């Protein structure tokens, strides 16, 4: 069974095929109404459960639209609808859901919820995000980079700010797609040591550079993410702002990287915090292509999981 749980647990040949399939499906839809079905309807007759323990805009809309474009149907459930792990075990929920639907996408907090769901389910499970990783986002990011700059292998990606779950998936992707990554941020927010070690073992050059201006020298891509979570208390927000302020992506930092460097952000962004509006709306930003490509990348993931 093809679960899509993390980039580093998926065969690199399969990852590459998903990127190519996503590109082909996007090209095939060029100029068509957004609500129109694909010429082929590979998910016709399939029902996909979309479970959200965490709030979502892009993940919810892109998966829902993607399934519909491919002829399938969605069942959207929130954590409060299901009370995952409260009263009924996650494993039992997975077994029951498997009797009704053809695939489960879950966006949750604890990665153990995802793991238990996948171990017990009789249908494929997709990681829509956990506190540990966000693989669907990085598949869209790789696709977006290659649309604008060609193969990502051998390129230099710079992650600035917090070594969070999205950064972890970028490190996994560095190992699987063969690019290098430099992290620049405060030491207390360094990425997980295991993720750094994984990418290095796969042959990628992974550097930690505290000076953001040194970090971005020769960068092909600069990536930022929000400094605070919606669940953080006000005191935590203030501490993080103080720690991360030197790592804001502004015009001066982009100029240090050079005019060919792209800028990405998985959104939502706090304009004026981790990145300025001047950069977000500037010529090097590809954030809205990146957001759109969640749709196409996830359609390819769905097809790979279902073998259709």
Active-site choice (195, 266, 296, 305): 266
Which helix (H) or strand (E) element contains residue 219? none
- The catalytically annotated residue of 3, 58, 134, 172 is 134
- The token pair at 229 is 């979570």
69, 172, 225, 298: the catalytic one is 225
Residue among 295, 239, 304 at smallest CA distance from 25: 295
CA distance 69 to 67: 6
User: What does the alpha-carbon distance between residue 1 and residue 214 come to, in Å, rounded to a whole number?
Assistant: 44
Is 284 among the residues known to form the active site? no
| 43's tokens | 């998910």
- 223 phi and psi angles, rounded to 5 deg: -125, 135
Please confirm, yes or no, whether 41 is among the known catalytic residues.
no
294 among known catalytic residues: yes
Catalytic residue among 8, 60, 294, 296: 294
Q: 225 an active-site residue?
A: yes
**Catalytic member of 69, 137, 176, 284:** 137
Can you list the alpha helix ranges (DSSP code H) found in the chain? 12-28, 58-69, 79-82, 90-98, 111-120, 135-149, 165-177, 193-201, 212-215, 234-244, 251-257, 277-280, 287-306
Three-state SS sequence of 166-198: HHHHHHHHHHHHCCEEEEECCHHHCCCHHHHHH
Instruction: Confirm whether 167 is a catalytic residue.
Output: no
- Residue from 29, 46, 60, 107 carrying the catalytic annotation: 107
Distance CA 108, CA 32 (A): 33
- What's the burial of 289, exposed, middle or buried (CB within 10 Å: 0-12/13-18/19+)? middle
Active site residue 136: no
Q: Which are the catalytic amino acids? A: 107, 134, 137, 225, 266, 294
């Amino acid at each position: 069974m093809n679960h899509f749980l993390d980039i580093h647990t998926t065969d690199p040949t399969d990852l590459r095929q998903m990127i190519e399939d996503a590109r082909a499906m996007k090209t095939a839809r060029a100029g068509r109404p957004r609500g129109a079905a694909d010429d082929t309807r590979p998910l016709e007759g399939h029902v996909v459960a979309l479970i959200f323990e965490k709030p979502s805009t892009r993940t919810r809309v892109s998966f829902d639209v993607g399934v519909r474009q491919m002829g399938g149907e969605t069942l959207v459930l929130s954590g409060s609808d299901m009370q995952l792990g409260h009263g009924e075990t996650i494993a039992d929920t997975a077994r029951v859901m498997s009797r009704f639907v053809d695939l489960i996408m879950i966006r949750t907090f604890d990665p153990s919820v995802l793991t238990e769901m996948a171990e017990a389910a009789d249908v494929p499970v997709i990681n829509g995000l956990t506190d540990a990783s966000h693989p669907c986002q990085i598949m869209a990011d790789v696709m977006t980079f290659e649309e604008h700059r060609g193969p990502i292998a051998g390129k230099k990606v710079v992650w600035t700010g917090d070594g969070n779950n999205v950064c972890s998936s970028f490190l996994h992707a560095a190992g699987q797609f063969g690019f290098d990554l430099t992290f620049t941020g405060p030491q207390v927010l360094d990425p997980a040591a295991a993720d750094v070690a994984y990418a290095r073992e796969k042959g990628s050059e992974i550097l930690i550079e505290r000076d953001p201006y040194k970090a971005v020298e020769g960068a092909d891509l600069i990536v930022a993410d929000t400094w605070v979570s919606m669940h953080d208390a006000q005191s935590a927000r203030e501490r993080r702002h103080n720690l991360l302020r030197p790592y804001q992506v502004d015009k001066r930092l982009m100029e240090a990287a050079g005019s060919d460097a792209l800028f990405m952000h998985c959104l939502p962004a706090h304009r004026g915090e981790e990145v300025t509006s001047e950069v977000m709306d500037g010529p090097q930003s590809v954030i809205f292509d990146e957001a759109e490509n969640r749709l196409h990348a996830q359609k390819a993931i769905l097809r790979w999981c279902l073998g259709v």
